[in-house]
Chain A
Amino acid sequence: MKPIDLRVEGDRQGAIETARNRIIFVMALFSLGFMSLVLKLISVGVFQASSASYYQSANVNTSLLMARADIVDRNGVILATNLKSPSLAVVRKNLKTAPEELAKDLSSILPELSYNEALEILKTDRNHHWIKRNLTPRQLFEIRKIGDPGLVTSDAEKRIYPHGRLAAHVLGSVDFDNMPSSGIELYFNERLANPEYSEQPLVLSLDLRLQHILNQELNSSMEKFSAKGAAGIIMDVSTGEVLALTSLPDFDPNDTDGPQTLTQMNKILQGVYELGSGFKTFTIAAGLDFNVVGLSDGYDATKPVRIGRFTIHDDHPKGRWLNIPEIFAYSSNIGTLKLAQDIGVERQQEFFDKLGLFRKADIEINEKSAPLLPSQWGPTELATTSYGHGIAVTPLHMVNGIAAMVNGGRLNPATLLRKNMQSAKGVTSISSVENPDTGGKQVISPKTSEIMRNMLHLAVEHGTGKNAKVDGYLIGGKTGTADKVINGQYSKRAVISSFISVFPIDQPKYVVFAMLDEPQGIEETFNLRTAGMTAAPMVGNIIRRVGPMMGIKPTETEEIEYEKMILVSDSE
């Protein structure tokens, strides 16, 4: 078809021209609009391509959120960590395979699941049923290979303690649902479960190497003396940081069945014992600090003393007048109680209270016992508590007190957190609340502390702690053998033998405490089970290994400060 060429002339021509012009004008407007859009598109596409704001919508989180933060020791060794561990469940209505066939497959993949058990689970009435927790990656792969929609795996997390039993009592444990049941896990639960700190580990004051040494020595001594239990602690004298803490028998926190009640008890924090002669340190320090006696004063210890219905003997009777260093070194009950009588009930109570012996010890663990104090404080109690009977405290009380005796007289609360750590975010240790300037409370004068150091040294060199001697290191220490209270009566057969020591005694760094619960005498110790024969050599072994590891230089001077005050030498 040929287009018809219309030609209009006259008035009509003018009208058509107007219309055309109008159309062009409108088109120009539209094209201008489109041009601006195109320009904008080009500018967006070419010039602003890498602008960050375009990609913010797709910001994917790359931080690994775990239900609980890690716990590490002071050197960064992992003590507890959370790992993904899938669980397997069955949803019955989605099952596509025959239960018999599936049960056969499952029992071959999961070794602890028998065919009959699997079949029973698959045929239960409940719609959703757990089959197994904590699948290994291989088991997970095999199960996914079966590919039945009724088998559901879910991403659970499991708390792993790579070192097992090693620091079980400090760490505590968690149950299936990552809920803490004891220890640091319980005390710092809020901090550990806080997603904000999920990637920042909690740094403890423990040193795993020392923990291992302590554990090993306690274990071997416990076996050697057929003891029921053992416990030990190593503490930094000047900061109160606990470097190692062990209580035997222990438990494996990886066992989610939960610890047995017997093994869960932490002897250091929960056990209250009449620790015996170690208390003489406090009594003598009180006597010197209150200026009741001087160093060269002494007491007559020839005859046993009768107080109330008790007659008090010395375990190592010398049968003569003893001066203060001798009373301490020979661990004379008679001398100590006579000194306590001069100090008096009020001042003795005041002193014990200052040392924190009347309340629960300060440490970041909830499971700790209050001391057992005598119900009334008469002359009998004054005498017996002076040498550590009739008053039962936890070993931690004792260690804390001894640390204060030797570090210049400041009582630092024990802590399980590494001090001066930035990564301890979100936690407050007890000590930082009570003493913001970390100074600690002054309980005895620095001068008395100096005397007590020498006195403890003397007790190892000439007294009951001889077996703790270590070549090259100067050690101070005090033995403690106490009869155990069984059914309200002192048992003659069961004792708690403990040794508390400080080394190096010339510049105290560490307090080492170790105790054995009901050790039995063996041939090597002439059938004796006193602390000097059982606990003291154990502590000696610990120091022998800990010293070189912590870079403590052996001392050359062999000078013993109050040696001349020993009137009659033991080595007749």
Chain B
Amino acid sequence: MIRIFASFAVITVIISTTAVYSLKQATEDLEQRKREISSDILKDREAIKVLRAEMAYLSRPERLERLSRRHLVLDTPSTDQITSEISELTVREDLQLANLPVDNFQLLLPRQKPDPKNISRDKNINTNSGVVAVVSVTADVKISNQTEQEENQKGQMSLYDRILAKIGN
């Protein structure tokens, strides 16, 4: 009786000590890992700070200007390179414009290329381009236009549609 009880007690003690020890060890491991990660984060933050300072140093306007003069064929824009109305840029009649939602910057879209597949299948090319020829610049119409087009020509989107879809988001 006593022997059974003693062995039971010994086993219980062994099990519980092992359990508590491993639990404590696991916790310490986790804490160690956490400290490592924290110090890594701190190191990275410090490095980011240094890199940001370096980026600011390297993108000094004076340096960028020097580099641009040496490597690019760009110069200060003059006022005659800017127009107040985007329609002055072209003599085309079917103007297709889109607004970038962020800064209201008007974008003159390229004309749609005739699709060779469409020509072979459907000889009436004009109807296809006619759908998108009149595009309003306002956002509401643009969105409705976009959804309409998505419904109509899912699968074979033209360049124009792709641009619209991109900037619509």
Judge whether A38 and B15 touch: CB under 8 Å. yes
B42 and A64 within 8 A (CB): yes
Name which of A41, A473, A544, A545 has the most chain B CB atoms within 10 A of its CB. Answer: A41
CB distance from B40 to the nearest CB of A (A): 9
How many residue pairs, one in A and one in B, have C-beta atoms under 8 Å apart?
112
Which residues on B sit within 8 Å (CB–CB) of A84? Answer: 46
* CB of A77 closer than 8 Å to a CB of B: yes
A553, B30: Cβ atoms closer than 8 Å: no
Q: Which residue of B lies closest to A84 (CB)?
A: B46
B45 at the interface (CB under 8 A from A): yes
**Complex formed: what's the CA distance from A49 to B16 in Å?**
15
* CA–CA, A62 and B45, complex, Å: 9
Asked whether, in the complex, the Cβ of B46 is within 8 Å of the Cβ of A471, the reply is no
Give A62's nearest chain B residue, CB to CB. Answer: B41
| B59 contacts partner chain A, Cβ-Cβ < 8 Å | yes
Kindly report which residue of chain A lies nearest to residue B24, judged by CB atoms. A45
Given A78-B53, A208-B61 in contact, is the A554-B5 Cβ separation under 8 Å? Answer: no
Task: List residues of chain B with CB within 8 A of the CB of A554.
Answer: 79-80, 82-84
Contact of B62 among A55, A212, A548 (CB under 8 A): A212
Query: Which listed segment binds B: A158-166, A338-346, A514-522?
Result: A158-166
Task: Answer whether residue B52 sits at the interface, using C-beta atoms and an 8 A cutoff.
Answer: yes
- Nearest opposing residue in chain A for B31, CB measure: A58
The answer, yes or no, to whether A29 is at the interface (CB within 8 Å) is no
Measured CB to CB, the closest approach of chain B to A66, in angstroms, equals 8
Residue B169 at the chain A interface, CB threshold 8 Å = no
Q: Is the CB of B34 within 8 A of A545?
A: no
| B42:A62 contact, CB within 8 angstroms | yes
Number of interface residues of A (CB under 8 A): 49
Contacts A38-B15, A45-B23, A58-B34; is A548 near B77 (CB within 8 Å)? yes
Query: Is residue B50 contacting chain A, with contact meaning CB distance below 8 A?
Result: yes
Q: Mark A33-55, 1 if CB is under 8 A from B, else 0.
A: 01101100110110001000011
A212: chain B residues at CB < 8 Å are 61-62, 65
The answer to whether A556 has its CB under 8 Å from any CB of chain B is yes
- CA distance in complex: A77, B27 (Å): 43
A553 to B81, CA, bound (A): 11
Q: Is the CB of A64 within 8 A of B46?
A: yes
Asked if A160 and B46 make an inter-chain contact with CB atoms under 8 angstroms apart, the answer reads no
Measured between beta carbons, the chain A residues less than 8 angstroms from B20 are 41, 45
Q: Does B135 contact A (CB under 8 A)?
A: no
Q: Is the CB of B78 within 8 A of A544?
A: yes
Instruction: Answer whether residue B49 sits at the interface, using C-beta atoms and an 8 A cutoff.
Output: yes
Q: Which residue of B lies closest to A42 (CB)?
A: B19
Whether B38 sits at the interface, judged by CB under 8 Å, is yes
Contact with A along B1-42 (1 / 0, CB 8 A): 100010011001101100110110011001100110011011
Which residues on the B side are within 8 Å of A565 (C-beta)? none
Instruction: For the complex formed, measure the closest distance between the CB of A39 and the CB atoms of chain B, giving whole angstroms.
Output: 10
A291 CB within 8 Å of chain B: no
For A24, the chain B residues whose CB sits under 8 A away are 1
Complex: A24 Cα to B27 Cα, angstroms = 39
In the complex, A31 has a CB within 8 A of chain B: yes
Q: Which residues of A contact B60 (CB under 8 A)?
A: 162-164, 166
Residue of B nearest to A81 (CB): B53
Do A78 and B56 contact each other (CB < 8 Å), given the known contacts A58-B35, A554-B83?
Answer: yes
A83 and B53 in contact (CB under 8 A), knowing A38-B12, A548-B77, A556-B84? yes
In the bound complex, CA of A31 to CA of B46 (Å): 57
Chain A contacts for B38, CB-based, 8 A:
60-62
Are B12 and A60 neighbours in the complex by a CB distance under 8 Å? no
Q: Which residues of B contact A (CB under 8 A)?
A: 1, 5, 8-9, 12-13, 15-16, 19-20, 22-23, 26-27, 30-31, 34-35, 38-39, 41-42, 45-46, 49-50, 52-57, 59-62, 65, 76-84
In the assembled complex, 8 residue pairs joining A and B whose CB atoms fall closer than 8 Å, in A order, are A24-B1, A55-B34, A66-B49, A162-B53, A166-B60, A473-B79, A547-B79, A554-B84
